[in-house]
Every structure is written in structure tokens, then in C-alpha cells.
Amino acid sequence: AQSVTQLGSHVSVSEGALVLLRCNYSSSVPPYLFWYVQYPNQGLQLLLKYTSAATLVKGINGFEAEFKKSETSFHLTKPSAHMSDAAEYFCAVSDTGGGADGLTFGKGTHLIIQP
Amino acid sequence: DAMVIQNPRYQVTQFGKPVTLSCSQTLNHNVMYWYQQKSSQAPKLLFHYYDKDFNNEADTPDNFQSRRPNTSFCFLDIRSPGLGDAAMYLCATSRDPGGTQYFGPGTRLTVL
């Protein structure tokens, strides 16, 4: 079974500061990993994904994440936070076993940007 | 250029009154998923279709059913909604199993 743990249900940073959202995964097979962002009353938008290619993945809106197998982590970062980054962020894992399985999500991290 | 469309965006129903939520896609993806997301929680997979093959998650209540009449459309039927079924319902698609999933904007269901 696969699972995702996101440390910190709420993260608050100042505008212009570094954003770091933590994600650790558990998977019995090499995983596909994803970060999604959700704005209030909207669906999920894909930020970036890791599918066993480069371990440093660049996504939209200046976000990037690094896959570290030894730490079973896939933390999301952005060098300089913007007010528009305030949202809910979900880390998710998908089994690459080939079955048409859905995503297993972490509980989410609410990112707060202080002016 | 909407890719995954959900209608309606907001749905109000009465306790016990059947309701159907709709999802359509213009991506011609093989797999369609339905997730339930309760307030301040992560989305939880209810079921998915791989082409015409239906796959139900083990803990999805029998009250929830789904239909996929063609590649483009997928419906979520809640036969007898309870107060605990109030949630955001998210539809997603992927080209292939395990591939990147693209989400619709969701339908927020209120049960009175």
C-alpha cells in the first residue's frame, strides 16, 4: 500500500521568502509523485510531477521539487513567495505498477503568505 | 479550451433524494476518476473507469454508483444522499493508467 505524509497542515511565510512544503511517501514500487495546488472552491491544478526521469523537477509558477529516494521525500520549494501562492497544496503518489489506480493524496498543506 | 468539465458547479439536494453529477472531457483520455473531498480533507478516490472497465474502491459505499456511456462522459449517481455525503466531488482523467491526472473544477454538493 502506498501513503503520503505532508508535514505541517499550515505553513506561513512572508512575501518574498523561501517556500518549503514537505512531503514523504511510502510505496512498494517506484512511485510517480505529484504536487497539486487547489484554490478555494476550485479543482486541483497540477504543479509538477516526478516519473523516474530527472530527480529535480521544475513546475509551473516557479515551483520545483526534488525526489530523494534515500529519504523517501519529494519536498516542494519556491525561492520567493508571492501573495498569489496562497492556496492548499497536495502531494500525491501513484503506483507505477500499471494498474489504472487513482492517486493517494496527503492531507494537504495550507500555505499562508504574510505581506 | 476547457478540458475536464463538471456540471453543475454547485448542487443542492434533499436528504434521500437521488442526485447525478456530470463530468465530460475533451482530452479523449482512457481513464476517468471520481474523488470525494470533504471539507479540509484530501481527495479520496471513489472509483474509476479504464475505458469501459469499472473499478470500485473497496470502501466506497454502495450508495455511490457511476456510469460511463462513452469516452467523453462519466456520471456519479448518489442514490440516497445523506448529510455525510455533502462534499466537493472531483472528476479527473488520465490518458493511461497511472498517468498524470487532470482535474475538473469540481461540484460542491449540499445535502439539506
For residue A98, what pLDDT is reported? 45
Q: Which residues contact A2 (CB under 8 A, 6 or more apart)?
A: A25, A26, A27, A28, A31, A93, A94, A95, A104
Residue of A nearest to B56 (CA): A101
For residue A52, what pLDDT is reported? 77
Q: Are A68 and A55 in contact (CB under 8 A)?
A: yes
Q: State CA B34 to chain mean position distance.
A: 3
Q: What is the DSSP string of A27-46?
A: -SSPEEEEEEEE-TTS-EEE
Quick: pLDDT tens for A35-83.
Answer: 999 998 788 999 999 887 788 999 999 999 999 989 999 999 999 999 9
Of the candidates B20, B103, B109, B35, the one whose C-alpha atom is nearest the C-alpha of residue B69 is: B20
3-state secondary structure of A71: helix
Q: Which among A41, A100, A108 has CB closest to B48?
A: A100
Torsions phi, psi for B102 (to 5 deg): -110, 125
Report the percent of chain A where pLDDT is more than 70.
94
Predicted confidence pLDDT, tens digits, chain B (112 residues) = 669 999 999 999 999 999 999 999 999 999 999 999 998 888 999 999 999 999 888 889 999 999 999 999 999 999 999 999 999 999 999 998 878 889 999 999 999 9
pLDDT at A15 over 80: yes
In this complex, do B103 and A45 lie within 8 Å of one another by their Cβ atoms? Answer: yes
Mutation for B interface: A96, A105, A107, most B CBs within 10 A: A105
Average pLDDT, chain A: 89
In this complex, do B41 and A107 lie within 8 Å of one another by their Cβ atoms? Answer: yes
For residue A41, what pLDDT is reported? 78
Q: Does B43 lie at the interface with A, CB-CB under 8 angstroms?
A: yes
Q: Does B108 lie at the interface with A, CB-CB under 8 angstroms?
A: yes
